[in-house]
Amino acid sequence: MRTVSHWINGDTVEAEAGSRFAEITNPATGEVTAQVALASRETVDSAIASAAAAFPAWRDTSLAKRTSILFAFRELLNQRKGELAEIITSEHGKVLSDALGEVSRGQEVVEFACGIAHLLKGGYTENASTKVDVHSVRQPLGVSAIISPFNFPAMVPMWFFPVAIAAGNAVVLKPSEKDPSAANWMAELWREAGLPEGVFTVVHGDKEAVDALLESPQVDSVSFVGSTPIAQYVYEKGTATGKRVQALGGAKNHMLVLPDADLDLAADAAVNAGYGAAGERCMAISAVVAVESIADELVAKIAERTRTLRIGDGAKDSDMGPLVTAAHRDKVAGYIDAGVEMGATLVLDGREVSDTADPNGFFLNPTLFDHVRPEMSIYTDEIFGPVLSVVRVESYDDGIELINANPYGNGTAIFTNDGGAARRFENEIQVGMVGVNVPIPVPMAYYSFGGWKNSLFGDTHAHGTEGVHFFTRGKVVTTRWLDPSHGGINLGFPTNG
C-alpha cells in the first residue's frame, strides 16, 4: 500500500520504526487507497529544527531572489494544477471542477505574494532630530506553522505559506490526515521551483503533532483553520507559549432574502452555496433567512433546483460528491434525524441516497428543511454537510437581529434589489465577510479573509496586507553618525530638537 510520509529538508522522509498510520480513503467508493504516517513528537521536533536551520539563510536571501522563486512556483502550479485537482478529488471527494476552482483561488495568493516587495517597504525620516535619522523595516518572524483542515487541502495552506515564504519565513505545514497528499505534491513543486531545503516542510499527524508545534519554542507563529473549539484551543495554547496565532474557527453563514430580491437568483445561490462541496466549506450557506411573504415561493424554487442535482463520484459527471469520511456522513445524517425530531419541516430528505452514487461511498443527498427555529440543533450547530435550513422572519430588522445574535460571524449575504437596504446591511451586520447578491463572499487575495466573534481567535485575518503584517514584525532604527563636534555628556532624557 502507498504510504504518504513527511517532507523534511527538501525530500520525503520515511516513517520511523514504530510509527502510527491512518487510512486514506476514496470517499466516492469507500476504498482504502493509501496510508499516512502520523508523526511522533520527535519527528515533529526534527522537522521544526530543519526549518529553523534553514531560516537564517532564507531570511537573508534577497527579495529579488525570493520573489523569482515565487514566480517559478506560480508558473509550475499554473501548468500542472489539473494534477493537484485530481489528487484533491480522490481524497476529499469534491467534484473535479470544484477542486480546480480551489487550486485557482489558492493560486491568487501565490500571485499576490509575487508582489510582496512593495508591501515590505519600510519608511525613512531624515533629520528627525538634529543629525539623527530614523527608519523602519519589516522582518520575518522565523518558523511559521500552518495547521490546515480537510475541506480545502490546497487552498487553505495557500492562504498562508506564499506570504510567509515570500516574507522570508520558513514554513512547517501540518495538513489534515484525511487528505494529506496535496501537501506533499506542493512540497515537490516548491523544490522544482528552486526553494532551498528546509524552507517548506510537511509533517503529517494528529493531536500529538499539533501539540508539538504549539509547544515548540522554535515555532514563532501558528496559522490554523478548523472548528471553533479547536481554534480556541490552538489560540490559547499557542499564545501561552508566546507565539503569534491566527486561528480561524467555525461558521454558521446566513443568507437574508428580502421580498424585492430576484428569487430565481436567490434560489440558484442558495443551492450553489449550500450544497457545493457537499456543504463542507467554512463559507457555505447553511441558513437561508427568508422574509415570510416570499418564503413559500423561495423554498419551492430551492427544492425544484435541488432535485436536479446529480450526486456521485466527483471524478465523473456529478454536481455533488460524497462527504469526506463514513463517520462524518453518519454525523450529518444524525443532524437530519434531530431536525425531524424537533419538528422542522423536511422538504428534501438527504438520507434517501441517489442510485447514481456508489453504495460503498460516503454519500448523502442534499437535504432541505423549512420552518427551522433558532433553538434547533440544525440551526445552532455547524453541520458541515449538505443540509440547508430555511428560517422564516417577518422583516429585515428581524433578520438582522437573528444573524447578529448568532455566535459565529464568518460570512453572510443579502439578496435584494434595494441599494439602501444593502448599504444598511453592510453597516449593521456583525460578520467579517459580506456579500450583496453574492452568496459566497470569499475575498480576493489582496483583501483579507476572516470572520468575527467565534469564527476567529486572534487579531489578524488571512492573506492580504494583514497576512503580510502577521508574518513580519516591525523594527525601528535610529541613527546618528557622529562628527567631531558632538555634544558631550548629557544625562537628561533625549528630546527632539
- CB neighbour list of residue 257: distance below 8 Å, 6 or more residues apart: 263, 266, 288, 289, 290, 291, 294, 298, 414, 415, 416
Number of helices (H) and strands (E), helices first, in the chain?
15, 23
Q: Are 284 and 252 in contact (CB under 8 A)?
A: no
Give 88-143 as a DSSP string.
HHHHH---HHHHHHHHHHHHHHHHHHHTHHHHT---EEEEEETTEEEEEEEEE-SE
DSSP state of 167: T
**CA-CA distances (angstroms) from residue 369 to 80, 164, 265, 345, 377?**
41, 42, 20, 5, 12
Active-site residue, 282 included: yes
* Distance in angstroms (rounded) separating the CA atoms of residues 76 and 360: 36
- Burial pattern 417-438, b for ≥16 Cβ within 10 A else e, equals eeeebbeebeeebebbbbbeee
List % helix, strand, coil for the chain (3-state, nearest 5). Answer: 40, 25, 35
Residue 277: DSSP 8-state: G
* Active-site pick, 103, 231, 245, 282: 282
* Positions marked catalytic: 282
